[in-house]
Structure 1
Amino acid sequence: MSHSEIDLTVNETTDFLTDNQIDRLDRWLTNKLPDLSRSRIQKLIEQGWVQINGKICAFKNTKVKTGDRIHVTIPNAQVTEIQPEEIPLDILYEDDNLLIVNKPAGLVVHPAAGHQAGTLVNALLAHCPLAEIGGVHRPGIVHRLDKDTTGAMVVAKTDLAYQHLQAQLKAKTARREYLGVVYGVPKTETGTIVQPVGRHPVDRKKMAVVPEEKGGRSAVTHWRVQERLGNYTLIHFQLETGRTHQIRVHSTHMGHPIVGDPVYSSGRDIGVNLPGQALHAWRLSLQNPISGQMIQVTAPLPQHFVTLLEVLRRRGAIPHLS
């Protein structure tokens, strides 16, 4: 397979240059290409895969300036073929073009460093052929859920379905609704969080609210209170964009992190054994790529989520003794 080629230009308006210089090459590229780690970008630079204004630049600390044209070549990783694995799937909907699965907690979506097997993709390949244009590691994967986020996730079987579903997400005609339990009690019943999300400037394993001029990407999350549970709240979230960790970052930003989130919450013990963040992709609505009919699928809450709600409801029903 051919290499991936990316062309970028340092733009004075969007990159907010100071004294005609913005940043080191590796740091600037890390902000522009959030799917690549900084160490991966540094290796690409060192190996001669990055050009500035048509000339190879092998120094990661080179400064970039207004008007610089950056060309990045990403060689396709030499990977062994992903092996199908007989892992049980909870299929909520399926036709010849796509399927929607109810992903359990703890299941990684696609192979990556540290997770070369036992992923959702391994399970899917044992069930049916997938679209090839999702990539070697991510065949058919239209959108992802974090390892411990549960719920509805659509997967494309054909390239046509993949392109159509991607277009729906981009045009915001596909509707993704989540349920999450958060710490605290929001002061209002509804709200919208409009804050760009990008790679955390210090901890590269985390995402954060990051200004767009520093590499953040626009992100919009609508929310409303579903149920008040004492000092906790069940919230209905609707995504307008789909940035990595978007709901988890936005919830934390508004002062109400998701319960059980090992990355973005304070780790307070709630007394219920949770596999991770109490966040569930509850409902998915999209258009059938072939027939044009709307498909709406609701994923049942996992047992640990149901238990959490039951415990919090019981606590809220017992008056505190003075």
Structure 2
Amino acid sequence: MTDTVRQYPIGYDDDGIRVDRWFKRHLPDTSFTAVAKWARTGQLRLDGARVGPGDRIAAGQVLRVPPPEPVRVGEKPVRERTPLTDDQIGYVSEMVIHRDAAALVLNKPPGLATQGGTKTTEHVDGLLDAFAEGDARPKLVHRLDKDTSGALLVARTARAAGFFAKAFSSRTARKTYWALVIDVPSIDDGMVELALAKQPGTGGEKMHVDEAEGLAARTRYRVIERAGNRTAWVELLPFTGRTHQLRAHMAAIGHPIVGDGKYGGQAAFLTGGISRKMHLHARRIRVDHPDGGAIDVTAELPTHFAESLALLGFEEMSGNFLPDDSEKAPPSKEVIKTRAKAHAKSVRKERRGERRGRGERTN
């Protein structure tokens, strides 16, 4: 058990959550009583300022946590991490598709959770002990849904974790997803701009469109290929990072992701031998490196997704030939309105100048 102050960079997927919720996610053995006491006595700090259990945190900030309190006689001791087995170490080691001094990129398989939770005992976070060096343990800086496969970035140092967290919160990091969706969008290259909020009655496990109370969310999609009117293979480019954003957005426009029963119901499943697993894959991640340069990694498809492409007559190489302009998002509605107003103002000025010119006499 450590007896030193701990520093935790706030990750991209913890942006906006309450301090007490952060402890439930990352230090579940810490009681609310302890958190409240640390806050009351000024030992709990966020970027150096005092913070309370109900305050919200932002990606890129650093949470200062005091050492764990000693266990009193009769109290339940804090659980120690169970050492990984050789099979677990081999399992997570096979996921590595990029490794350097600051970062790892894993190709997460579908069905493996990124973090632990109720009744979730095996997850990526728990397997990161395989890459620990002394007291330095890799840290997650973003997440993928349990049934989403693909590129997952992990920071190997506290400095790198803070750097990557800021990259995700400032939207300079870019993620490209591949998905199969039901039916074919009428527009080949479109932008979905629908605010998302947690759906009441689902315990926060499902999102829905809520333009009044939701948070702004933007997703660009591009059709790669289509199989008649039955399904389309699309590239998805999120420009915000809301929970379940891609799944909720595609379902909202009538094209749920194949295999996503949560958002598409029974209509999200195809017949003809197509797997019932979700077909959403984090294909590529691009982010600046804390030591200069950039990380740009592509993750191979899981077996069920590759087999579905083949059954539908799609060539996997086709997805690699879209123009690489994914960083240039089409302008938002607000930007379009601003440009239109500026253009109209410019036109009015020109017309006033023309009228003044016609009224002047020349000698």
TM-score (norm 1): 0.69
User: Which residue does 1:57 correspond to in 2?
Assistant: none
What CA deviation, in whole Å up to 9, does each residue of 1:171-225 have, x standing for no partner? 21111000000001100111111112221123222111223x53x2221111110
SS at match of 1:263: helix
Aligned counterparts of 2:5 and 2:54: Cα–Cα separation in 1: 14
User: Which residue does 1:122 correspond to in 2?
Assistant: 126
User: Which residue does 1:67 correspond to in 2?
Assistant: none
Aligned counterparts of 1:265 and 1:146: Cα–Cα separation in 2: 16
What is the identity, as a one-letter code, of the residue corresponding to 1:146? Answer: D
Residues 164 and 289, structure 1, Cα contact 8 Å, conserved in 2: yes
1:104 aligns with 2:109: yes
Residues 110 and 121, structure 1, Cα contact 8 Å, conserved in 2: yes
RMSD between aligned alpha carbons? 3.5
SS at match of 1:208: strand
Classify 1:288/1:170 alpha carbon distance in 2 versus 1 (closer, same or farther; 3 Å).
same
- Please list every run of at least 4 consecutive aligned residues from structure 1 whose deviation after the TM superposition is greater than 6 angstroms: 73-76, 130-133
Residues 93 and 99, structure 1, Cα contact 8 Å, conserved in 2: yes
Larger radius of gyration: 2
User: Which residue does 1:185 correspond to in 2?
Assistant: 184
What is the identity, as a one-letter code, of the residue corresponding to 1:163? Answer: G
1:229 aligns with 2:233: no
Residues 116 and 123, structure 2, Cα contact 8 Å, conserved in 1: yes
Classify 1:233/1:287 alpha carbon distance in 2 versus 1 (closer, same or farther; 3 Å).
same
User: Which residue does 1:313 correspond to in 2?
Assistant: 313
Residues 20 and 53, structure 2, Cα contact 8 Å, conserved in 1: no
What is the identity, as a one-letter code, of the residue corresponding to 2:176? Answer: E
1:276 aligns with 2:280: no
Residues 107 and 147, structure 1, Cα contact 8 Å, conserved in 2: yes
Residues 262 and 276, structure 1, Cα contact 8 Å, conserved in 2: no
SS at match of 1:161: helix
Classify 1:124/1:245 alpha carbon distance in 2 versus 1 (closer, same or farther; 3 Å).
same
Residues 131 and 140, structure 1, Cα contact 8 Å, conserved in 2: no
Deviation at 1:130, TM superposition (A): 9.8
Aligned counterparts of 1:167 and 1:34: Cα–Cα separation in 2: 18
Deviation at 1:127, TM superposition (A): 2.7
Aligned counterparts of 1:223 and 1:130: Cα–Cα separation in 2: 43
Aligned counterparts of 1:119 and 1:245: Cα–Cα separation in 2: 18
What CA deviation, in whole Å up to 9, does each residue of 1:44-101 have, x standing for no partner? xx99x99xxx9xxxxxxxxxxxxxxx9727999x862433424213111001111000
Higher helix share: 2
Deviation at 1:313, TM superposition (A): 1.9
Aligned counterparts of 2:162 and 2:288: Cα–Cα separation in 1: 12
1:256 aligns with 2:255: yes
Q: How many residues align?
A: 255
1:240 aligns with 2:239: yes
1:80 aligns with 2:79: yes
Higher strand share: 1
Classify 1:35/1:281 alpha carbon distance in 2 versus 1 (closer, same or farther; 3 Å).
farther
Residues 156 and 162, structure 1, Cα contact 8 Å, conserved in 2: yes
Identical pairs, percent: 32
Aligned counterparts of 1:131 and 1:274: Cα–Cα separation in 2: 42
Point out where structure 1 has 5 or more consecutive residues left out of the alignment. Answer: 4-30, 41-45, 55-69, 134-138, 315-322
User: Which residue does 1:288 correspond to in 2?
Assistant: 289
Aligned counterparts of 1:260 and 1:79: Cα–Cα separation in 2: 39
TM-score (norm 2): 0.62
Residues 192 and 218, structure 2, Cα contact 8 Å, conserved in 1: yes
Classify 1:266/1:151 alpha carbon distance in 2 versus 1 (closer, same or farther; 3 Å).
same
Aligned counterparts of 1:129 and 1:144: Cα–Cα separation in 2: 22
SS at match of 1:313: coil
Classify 1:131/1:180 alpha carbon distance in 2 versus 1 (closer, same or farther; 3 Å).
farther
Q: How does 1:135-174 map to 2 (within 5 A)?
A: 140-174=139-173
Residues 193 and 250, structure 1, Cα contact 8 Å, conserved in 2: yes
What is the identity, as a one-letter code, of the residue corresponding to 1:113? Answer: T
Deviation at 1:243, TM superposition (A): 1.2
Q: How does 1:41-56 map to 2 (within 5 A)?
A: none
Aligned counterparts of 1:267 and 1:257: Cα–Cα separation in 2: 10
Deviation at 1:112, TM superposition (A): 1.4
